Structure 1
Amino acid sequence: MSLQHPSSSCLRVTLTEWYPFSIKMGRAYGGIAVDVLRLVAKLNRYCLTFMEPQDKFWGLRLPNGTWNGMIGQVNNSEADLSGTLIFTTESRAEVVDFSAPLYFQEHRILYKTPNLKPNIAGFLLPFTGTVWLSIAIMFIAVTVAVAILFLLYDVHYRTWGQTKGNSVPTPSAIREPGWRASHFTIGMLLSQPPRWNPNGALVVLFMTALWMFISFIVANVYRSNLVSMLVLPKIEVPFETLDELVNQHEYKIVMAAGGALEQKARESPPDSVLGKLIRNVEVSVDFDYVYQTLINKKYAGIGNEIQLDVVRHFRYSQTAQCPFTVTKKGFVTGIQMSYVFQKGSPLKPKFDKVINDLREAGLLDQFLDRALSNASHCRKKVNNSNELRALSFWDVAGMLSLFLGGIAVSTFAFLLEIFLKPDTVPAPLHRPVRAIARFRLLERTAKVFTRLLRSCKLPPGVPSVVKGNLQIKKMG
């Protein structure tokens, strides 16, 4: 065919199926790009003949310098132009010409929105680790400061009492300021009323009042943050950039084969982000495989915004749900989507005029919105979940473990006190404690007596200890 007189014969158009630009319907083709192509052909009285590349690729440069896919067919004069849109790159522009751009795109990452999972440490999430550390430091500092102030205050009045002939306080009374200070500081954080009034020196009153004010603010902020997190839980984003994606191991990566991003990644240095991507990505020309992989497996898909909108459009059309999240930040931005012509083709100016008129009239965006109408329901970035979720056991397991741990520690301390100092136990527990102590004493006595008998040589006829039970036969 002579390109100087393209109307003398049909235009050979190569295309591969890519919704919504080129759609195969039996033996016919449709889609946005095909419709624009037919419009130009009608205005210029061209007929069209369609073909498909065997590898279904847009076009990649091979190691020997040749090209495959639609780019290869146009470059080898097997086709006059492409029937679908192809991304403009520098390497492709060296062998083919591109029409005026129909769309401008950037690449993003799509993945299934993470499900809300119970967190055993959820009660710690209202504050960061730095805030919790600051609270602990303040608690220790205030406890020590108030205890020292109480001690100095008590020593002052103890000295004053001795000059007046009063009795000297006991050692337990000397330790009392530390207990009072710790009870007061922890009680204020837990919104518990103190059992005493911090009267005395002005500096003591100032310290306790300041801690009460700080505890009030901390407790109320903690409660409000915890309630807001339960009412509107925030979804943790696993990654937001391409660099974070290639350096994580939770999600596998998949993308369409033969595209501009794959070509750019193969040409990038191995240590670059795109170089790491090409080593870890799974590529496929089968859209159904990519679609099912993103739905049923833990994969992250990489593509331009239109490709990702196609996935969301189909999923919403099937289930009326938007289970996918798209990253906010794009990469490899500002790429043009255009038709491809042979170098120096006279068809390019005629296509450019029609494309510019359609774009300026806003018809191209209207065509795209109409084809992907359901994708608009899923384009809003969601960081929070509005779904109601009943609290599970693991949501309260952290607080429950703290409670059980406190009970275990207090029980151990109580039992230790019973065995070491039974006389210090309160009066209501005297009888059971004495019984436990007597049993403990009898057990120890039996063990000592048993060891003594084993060390002695008993006369004939006297039975020995059997299985730990002392059996002594009466002698006549």
Structure 2
Amino acid sequence: MAAVCLGRYHLALSPDGNWGGPQPDNTITGLVGQVARHEAHAALCALTITDTRETVVDFTAPYYFESATFVSPAPKEKNRSFAILSPFTLEVWLCIIVATVLAGPLLSLVSRLLVVCTGEADWTQYSLQTLSFNMYRSLVFQESLIITNHWSLRFICFGWFLFTFCIYAMYSGTLTAALAIRAYEKPIDSLYDLAQAHRDGYTIATTRDSNYDAAFKNAESGIYKEVWQLFDKKDPQRSLLPNPDVGIDMVLKEKYVFINSLLSTKLKAAQRGREKFYLARQTFLPQGYGIICNNGSPIKDVFSRILIRLTEVGLVIKWTNDEVNKVYHFMSSARDPGPTAISLQHLQAAFFIMVLGLTISAIVLVLEIVASFWKRSRSAGKTV
């Protein structure tokens, strides 16, 4: 393109390192400013075509389209200390506990009601403690030691055993998956998640003088306006960073969410270790890239014709994919480690429950001994 349009050419960088554009004080910054002031004939970069920039420079036909996303630190693995309780919610656990506690007394009540009403007792009379413990035992071991000749009691037991079978099957299957597969904290996946991330101490940031900066800043309502309110107004330099490289690096150093173009984010994250970052699933703000030229420049139409031909034959997409694959080939990328061995960390809750049971047993034992001595002392007092 340079050979066709300009022959010999000279490459220069933006003095302020920004893409730039018109500012409220009527200055024009960055690459856009250099072209607008005729310090350069054209600027070739990931420059988004915007109405504001088109007031001071001319854009060629767009050669690439993509959307924005945001990148945050990779979610941390959840604490697995109480993983054995994770298959069920708190409400389910409470319902199971209540059902188990009431099952024994219900069986005992029906058994005694049958004796009163029919005069027929079971082959074996079980105490309330025995019935209650058997209901718990059948929940854990899927086995019952209760034998009855009453069909009403049999149907109660049948319903309870079917209930415990379903609970046991769902718990054991879900627990295996919960222990073997890694679980992570909820990631930041959409613009609506940014408010919670901000409350959690994250700084919301994007590139200064970029299309994203303008989109959020100029929004009058809606989610973009809400996101702009999350930017650091006390210290704008924390939210408006000089370039994407600084933003990606800040994600690794501090609690940052950086808004940037999807392709650029993928490449820069891969270069630094893809497993260290999380790219949001939601994309937004579709945009087109073009080459900027001086207002009225004759090379704009020449560039546009060349770019259209390159786009139509698919070379732009091919070159983009080649660059992405090249980076991912040489740089480490995130891989799912798959199922892991069950460790002591996963079973901490099981040992905690065992220790808790032993502790309660020890307390009850002490109370029983104290109560026994107290009864003996009272008996000895009465005898004297």
* Superposition TM-score tier, normalisation by shorter sequence: 0.7 to 0.9
Partner of 1:5: none
Cα distance change on mapping 1:415 and 1:53 into 2, 3 Å: same
Gaps of 5+ in 2: none
Partner of 1:196: 146
Does the 8 Å contact 1:104/1:337 carry over to 2? yes
- State the distance in 2 between where 1:125 and 1:150 align: 36
What's the CA shift for 1:305?
A: 0.9
- State the distance in 1 between where 2:114 and 2:332 align: 67
- State the distance in 1 between where 2:265 and 2:11 align: 27
- State the distance in 2 between where 1:255 and 1:421 align: 73
Q: 1:347 aligns with which of 288, 294, 299?
A: 299
Cα distance change on mapping 1:400 and 1:66 into 2, 3 Å: same
Which amino acid is 1:184 matched to? Answer: N
Does the 8 Å contact 1:74/1:342 carry over to 2? yes
What's the CA shift for 1:125?
A: 0.9
What's the CA shift for 1:375?
A: 4.7
Cα distance change on mapping 1:267 and 1:339 into 2, 3 Å: same
Q: Confirm whether residue 325 of structure 1 aligns to residue 278 of structure 2.
A: yes
Q: 1:179 aligns with which of 113, 129, 151?
A: 129
Partner of 2:116: 155
Which amino acid is 2:250 matched to? Answer: T
What's the CA shift for 1:288?
A: 5.0
The 5-angstrom pairing of residues 90-129 of structure 1 reads 90-129=51-90
Q: Confirm whether residue 305 of structure 1 aligns to residue 262 of structure 2.
A: yes
Does the 8 Å contact 2:270/2:332 carry over to 1? no
What's the CA shift for 1:423?
A: 9.8
- State the distance in 2 between where 1:203 and 1:55 align: 86
Partner of 2:242: 285
Larger radius of gyration: 1
Gaps of 5+ in 1: 1-39, 162-172, 425-433, 443-476
- State the distance in 2 between where 1:379 and 1:152 align: 72
Partner of 2:350: 399
Q: Secondary structure at the match of 1:405?
A: helix
Higher RCO (Cα < 8 Å, 6 or more apart): 2
Q: Compute the TM-score of the two structures, normalised by the length of structure 1.
A: 0.68
Instruction: Write out per-residue CA displacement over residues 256-305 of structure 1, whole angstroms, 9 at most, x where no aligned residue.
Output: 33311112222235993331243275333255544443334443332111
Which amino acid is 2:356 matched to? Answer: G
Q: Confirm whether residue 206 of structure 1 aligns to residue 206 of structure 2.
A: no
Q: Compute the TM-score of the two structures, normalised by the length of structure 2.
A: 0.83
Percent identity, please: 20
Which amino acid is 1:310 matched to? Answer: L
Instruction: Write out per-residue CA displacement over residues 53-112 of structure 1, whole angstroms, 9 at most, x where no aligned residue.
Output: 321111143222432112223333333321223012232233333222121111112233
Q: 2:5 aligns with which of 44, 58, 63?
A: 44
Cα distance change on mapping 1:374 and 1:219 into 2, 3 Å: farther
Partner of 2:252: 295
Q: How many residues align?
A: 368
The 5-angstrom pairing of residues 247-286 of structure 1 reads 247-248=196-197, 249-269=200-220, 272-279=225-232, 282-285=239-242
